[in-house]
Copies of this chain bind each other. A is one copy, B any other.
Amino acid sequence: MSMVKLHSVAMISACLLLFYPISVFAAGPGEAMPDISFTLLGIAVILIAAKISNLIERFGQPPIVGELLVGVLLGNLSFFGLHVFEDIRSDNIINFLGELGVIILLFQVGLESNIEKIRKVCLQSFVVAFLGVIIPFVLGTYVVGPWLLPDLSFNTYLFLGATLTATSVGITARVFKDLNKIHIPEAQIVLGAAVIDDVIGLIILAVVSTIATVGGVGLGLISWIAAKAILFLLGSIILGQVLAPKIGKLLSKINTGVGMKFTLAISFCLVFAFLAQKVGLTPIVGAFSAGLILDPVHFSYFKDPKIVRDIKEAINDYDHDSKEKILSVIAPHAKRHIEDLIAPIGLFLIPIFFVITGMNVKLETMFNLPILLVALGLTAAAFVGKIVSGLAVRKANKFLVGFGMVPRGEVGLIFAMTGKALNIIPDEVFSTIVIMVILTTLLTPPILTSLLKKQDKLELKNK
């Protein structure tokens, strides 16, 4: 038994899956137990598929590309009569775990981000966010809408324009994180702009919804919605800055330990995600803010006091100078940051989000030529609108910023779904929006990767 070797696990899992058809039809008297087995299997399948898909790194692509593609593959197997992945895709719990995954991702990105660096690029983020809203909105409402979809109402064009303003930062954040580029100015500009964009998007959605239903804008409601979101962002920063150190002392007296710090960090992230959703923002904006507020340097802990003790014991017979030297070498490594504790949660949950995102891509929607053509026009506008917004930045790679803003993801879908619910977006238009969202989401990671690699090469040359 002790000879069991590394990695042997996945294949055993695969072998055991052969038992599956037998056991499914032989459910015992355990029926009174809540049957969570399908969900357990679904998670395992997603995680294994995600890890296999990460082989794509060998072809120079970041893991996210593999996870999205394997998701698209699994999600469309129903086309060949295999429907089990449909059930995984629509499993409530798995979907929640995925959403928790992207919340953890943005929390990690927030922890890795430096608030001083974000402040430095703050103005640029504002410019990018505003241009990245105005240009796609104008393109959608006054150009692409009337041009590609004549005979529809102005309200529909309005929603189309609004949908094009969205930015879903999860995709871009993952690419930057995978390539260890969270710290570059371009990443910080995009992250800041995405947060601002979420606030603007919230306001736009409220405005166009009101115009479309009531016919005019109620300034009171709009300002209330904006005030809540801005209050949340400002409030979290002020609270973090003023109250945190004082209350921290109190709590440090209660309990210190790895478990305590971990729980506090995770709870902080969850509460901020909760509050963000409650003020109408996406939960990931809250998680990002939470990560930004928590200063990982102050949130570090000793990896394990035992290690330092062990090493001290082992070098006990060394002379004093050697001892001091060795200990000073080890000291910085004996510390571990809260990020190390969060990382496994990310390893567990983040792939679920991206595989499920891929699974939601229904390839059959693309088989209708007229719809596909309109969708391609919309996608072109979606790319152009955001790329142009990137041209405004200074002392940074304009295209990296522009493309970083391109993915529309779930935020774009929320706009479209609101429009559909209000009977303003007809079904065919909805399909074109879905295709646009898919294309901006799937095409951006490889583009960002190649831009980042080109930049690395240029820097090497300049050295």
Residues of A within 8 A of B (CB): 1-13, 15-17, 19-20, 23-24, 26-30, 32-41, 43-44, 47-48, 50-52, 54-55, 92-93, 95-96, 99-100, 103, 115-116, 202, 205-206, 209, 224-225, 228-229, 235-237, 239-241, 243-252, 254-256, 258-268, 270-275, 277-283, 293-295, 297-299, 307, 310-311, 314-315, 318, 322, 325-326, 329-330, 333, 341-345, 347-348, 351, 410, 414, 417-418, 421
Interfacial chain B residues near A15, Cβ < 8 Å: 239, 243
Interfacial chain B residues near A43, Cβ < 8 Å: 267, 270
Q: Which residue of B lies closest to A207 (CB)?
A: B29
CB distance from A409 to the nearest CB of B (A): 12
Bound-complex Cα distance A369 to B126 (A): 68
Are B298 and A20 touching (Cβ within 8 A)?
A: no
Interfacial chain B residues near A267, Cβ < 8 Å: 9-10, 13, 43-44, 47-48
Interfacial chain B residues near A261, Cβ < 8 Å: 6-7
Q: With A36-B96, A247-B12 as known contacts, state yes or no: A6 contacts B298, CB within 8 Å.
A: yes
Bound-complex Cα distance A282 to B29 (A): 11
Interfacial chain B residues near A6, Cβ < 8 Å: 248, 251-252, 261, 298-299
Q: With A243-B8, A245-B4, A344-B341 as known contacts, state yes or no: A271 contacts B13, CB within 8 Å.
A: yes
CB distance from A22 to the nearest CB of B (A): 8
Are A329 and B342 touching (Cβ within 8 A)?
A: no
Q: A5-B249, A11-B251, A26-B228 are in contact. List 20 more A-B contacts (CB 8 A).
A: A2-B295, A3-B245, A5-B298, A6-B261, A7-B261, A7-B264, A10-B251, A16-B235, A20-B275, A28-B280, A29-B206, A29-B225, A29-B280, A30-B202, A36-B96, A36-B100, A47-B270, A51-B260, A311-B333, A314-B329
CB distance from A349 to the nearest CB of B (A): 10
Interface of A is mostly: helix
Identical chains bound together, number: 2
Are A270 and B228 touching (Cβ within 8 A)?
A: no
Q: With A7-B252, A93-B96 as known contacts, state yes or no: A19 contacts B262, CB within 8 Å.
A: no
Bound-complex Cα distance A255 to B421 (A): 46
Are A263 and B347 touching (Cβ within 8 A)?
A: yes
Q: Can you report 14 residue pairs joining A to B where beta carbons are below 8 Å apart? A: A6-B251, A9-B265, A16-B271, A28-B279, A29-B205, A30-B280, A36-B96, A40-B271, A41-B270, A51-B259, A51-B264, A93-B93, A318-B325, A343-B344
Bound-complex Cα distance A82 to B60 (A): 55
CB distance from A267 to the nearest CB of B (A): 4
Bound-complex Cα distance A22 to B17 (A): 50
Are B12 and A243 touching (Cβ within 8 A)?
A: yes
Are B29 and A202 touching (Cβ within 8 A)?
A: yes
Are A9 and B294 touching (Cβ within 8 A)?
A: yes
Interfacial chain B residues near A225, Cβ < 8 Å: 28-29
Q: Which residue of B lies closest to A271 (CB)?
A: B13
Bound-complex Cα distance A20 to B235 (A): 13
Q: Which residue of B lies closest to A259 (CB)?
A: B347
Bound-complex Cα distance A41 to B100 (A): 12
Are A244 and B47 touching (Cβ within 8 A)?
A: no
Interfacial chain B residues near A9, Cβ < 8 Å: 244, 248, 251, 264-265, 267-268, 294
Are B251 and A8 touching (Cβ within 8 A)?
A: yes
CB distance from A314 to the nearest CB of B (A): 5
CB distance from A369 to the nearest CB of B (A): 29
CB distance from A332 to the nearest CB of B (A): 8
Interfacial chain B residues near A330, Cβ < 8 Å: 311, 330
